[in-house]
A = this chain, B = another copy of it.
């Protein structure tokens, strides 16, 4: 299980990417992250909803209410055009971060 303070700062990317694929709601995203990472990483509930707030404020995602078929009411999120551009930036940034950190990890693996 990976410490979350090492993933810190990359949650925006992860969540935006999942919402880019299709509109999703919080609980679903949380499940999807656990699934895709084989439980090597799990996002905490409180964190997830904090990220939503941040991203909505930045206008990179938008919310709308969905059905209530399996428990509480679902709040769906869609990515905005601004969000797509933002995600693009984050992807570029990630590849630069990898390069930089790898610079220092070289020869130690």
Report the nearest B residue to A4, measured CB to CB: B9
Q: How many chain A residues touch B (Cβ–Cβ < 8 Å)?
A: 32
Partner among B2, B87, B91, B96 whose Cβ is within 8 Å of the Cβ of A100:
B2
Q: How many chain copies does the complex carry?
A: 2
Contact indicator per residue, chain A 84-101, by CB within 8 Å of chain B (1) or not (0): 000110010111111011
Within 8 A of B (CB), among A4-49: 5-10, 13-14, 17-18, 36-37, 40-41
Is there a chain B Cβ closer than 8 Å to A108's Cβ? yes
Q: Can you name 7 A-B pairs with beta carbons within 8 Å? A: A2-B93, A2-B100, A13-B105, A17-B108, A41-B100, A88-B108, A91-B105
